[in-house]
Amino acid sequence: MKNDKFKMTQHQLLTAELFDYSYDNYADHLEVGNARFKKIMPEFCATLGEAIDNKLPKEKIAQRLKIDPDKVDSWIKSYKDSAEIVNAVNPSEAFRISLQKIMYGKMKENLDTKEKIDDLIIQICYRVADLGYLLELEKSELSDYSDWLRRDKDVDYSMMGLPNLE
């Protein structure tokens, strides 16, 4: 990676997503040995993932994670959204999914002020930076995913070996 950046594992990427950190920022904290980023947050993420996989009741999840039971649903949704992004087939799909999550989340807000639109743009820019991090991880370039990124709805891409958009 450029400038010998820290290369995160799949679980570290998932933890960064779960806690809403950009990949570069999370990697920087790991590189300096920050205990919160190296141990506490990854353990929380792993425990939450295991609890979801084992279909534990909310009360049990809250107890294991030492959180308010009213926040369990939100953490479960965040974990599933994060896993969908991190487990995407490639960086361009991770980017597409992450933008969908941002936009679906913002649909509840009226984007009727410059400040709200600027906040959305900032979030999109962070996702672009995360795309760059993922591209660096696999030593690829944005142009490698040009076909993936230019897909449109209601077009059959099967002859190109690409999945169709739903």
3-state secondary structure labels for all residues of the chain: CHHHCCCCCHHHHHHHHHCCCCHHHHHHHHHCCCHHHHHHHHHHHHHHHHHHHCCCCHHHHHHHHCCCHHHHHHHHHHHHHHHHHHCCCCHHHHHHHHHHHHHHHHCCCCCCCHHHHHHHHHHHHHHHHHHHHHHHHCCCCHHHHHHHHCCCCCCCCHHHCCCCCC
Mean pLDDT score of the chain: 93
Q: Does 3 have pLDDT greater than 80?
A: no
* pTM of the entire predicted model: 0.90
Shared domain check, 79 and 103:
no
Provide mean pLDDT across the span 2-26.
Answer: 89
Domain stop point among 36, 70, 87? 87
Shared domain check, 101 and 126:
yes
Q: Has residue 156 been placed in a domain? A: no
Least confident of 70-84, 95-109, 132-146: 95-109
Range of the domain at 25: 7-87
Provide mean pLDDT across the span 26-46.
Answer: 96
| Total domains in the fold of the chain | 2
Shared domain check, 22 and 83:
yes
**Reported confidence tier of residue 166, pLDDT bands at 50, 70, 90:** confident
What's residue 5's pLDDT? 64
Q: Does 89 have pLDDT greater than 90?
A: yes
Q: Has residue 161 been placed in a domain? A: no
Q: Has residue 160 been placed in a domain? A: no
Shared domain check, 110 and 94:
yes
Identify the residue with better confidence: 4 or 76: 76
